[in-house]
Amino acid sequence: MLRKTCFLTTCFVLSLATILFKTIPSSAQDSQLFRFTEAPGPQAVGLRVVEQYDYSRTYRSAIDDLGKPAVGERARPLQTLTWYPAQKTAAKPMTVGDYGQLGATETSFGKPDIAAGMKQWIDGMQPSLGNPMWAVRDASPLAGRFPVVIYAPSFSAMSWENADLCEYLASHGYVVIASPDMGATTREMTSDVAGIDAQAADIFQSLGERLYKLSKCPDYVINRGHYFGTSMFSEEAGLSDDEKHALIDYLKTF
């Protein structure tokens, strides 16, 4: 049962994004561009980027591709984005290009190193890179308690793949947290149990566990999104089809 008091939920919400995104009538200049046409909620939106390592897991091998000792941090990197209700400010909001630049430091904190796949993404978004978004980076948070949504990106995707949706939820009073979808030892996700469990651990172990400790709510619900059946929850059965449909219907009410 979904309780309205306070809940922690992970959701694979591309279906919701499909509902919220609307295309602009095609034209010669921007026939391939999309516009997020939903009006923002009553709250301003802030964005905080946290780059940290999970020292309980190894991400890089001790030996590099040339057979030499690896240089640098080997623990699993986690670049976490948090959107939140914020105090109104005259500061400039993030642009599409600003989000794109976060990809250059996803796993190399402080040392920009854009991967070929990420460069392809950014090159494909060239016409939109200057477009303003809603979130203001490091804006002062609004006082109060807000429900938390942990967004799990799709296969190999960056944490901001649905920035429009995450900002939209934050403008309606939600705190939204996301980290990139990465394999156990590679930036690209792998289609095996090790890869799936790595992202599940990113969410439930690295992010969720900290939230549990900070939460003062008497109860909350964890909806496992697209992690049904992984070894992270082998002791529990996944949601039934009826429960999945109920969750989807619930998300559509946001």
pLDDT: which is higher, 28 or 126:
126
pLDDT at 94: 96
| 102 lies in some domain | no
- Report whether pLDDT(122) > 70: yes
Residue 226 lies in a domain: yes
Domain holding 86, by residue range, is 8-22+36-90+134-251
Where is average pLDDT lowest: 10-19, 127-136, 182-191, 217-226?
A: 10-19
pLDDT at 81 over 90: yes
pLDDT for residue 6 is more than 50: no
| Cα atoms in the 13 Å half-sphere on the side-chain side of 11 | 25
CA dist 95 and 33 (Å) reads: 15
Contacts of 117-126 with C-beta under 8 Å, sequence gap 24+, read: 117/156, 117/187, 117/188, 118/158, 121/158, 122/97, 125/96, 125/97, 125/100
In a domain, 206, yes or no: yes
103-118, pLDDT tens digit by residue? 888 878 887 777 767 7
Specify the number of domains making up the chain. 1
CA distance 238 to 230: 9
Q: How far does CA 167 lie from the centroid of its chain?
A: 11
Q: What are phi and psi of 66, to 5 degrees?
A: -95, 5
- Are 83 and 169 in contact by the 8 Å Cβ rule? The answer is yes
Say if residue 1's pLDDT is above 50: no
What is the structure's pLDDT at 238?
57
The answer to whether residue 125 sits within a structural domain is no
Alpha-carbon gap, residue 75 to 60, rounded angstroms: 7
**Cα–Cα distance for residue pair 56/43, rounded to 1 Å:** 37
Would the pLDDT of 27 be above 90? Answer: no
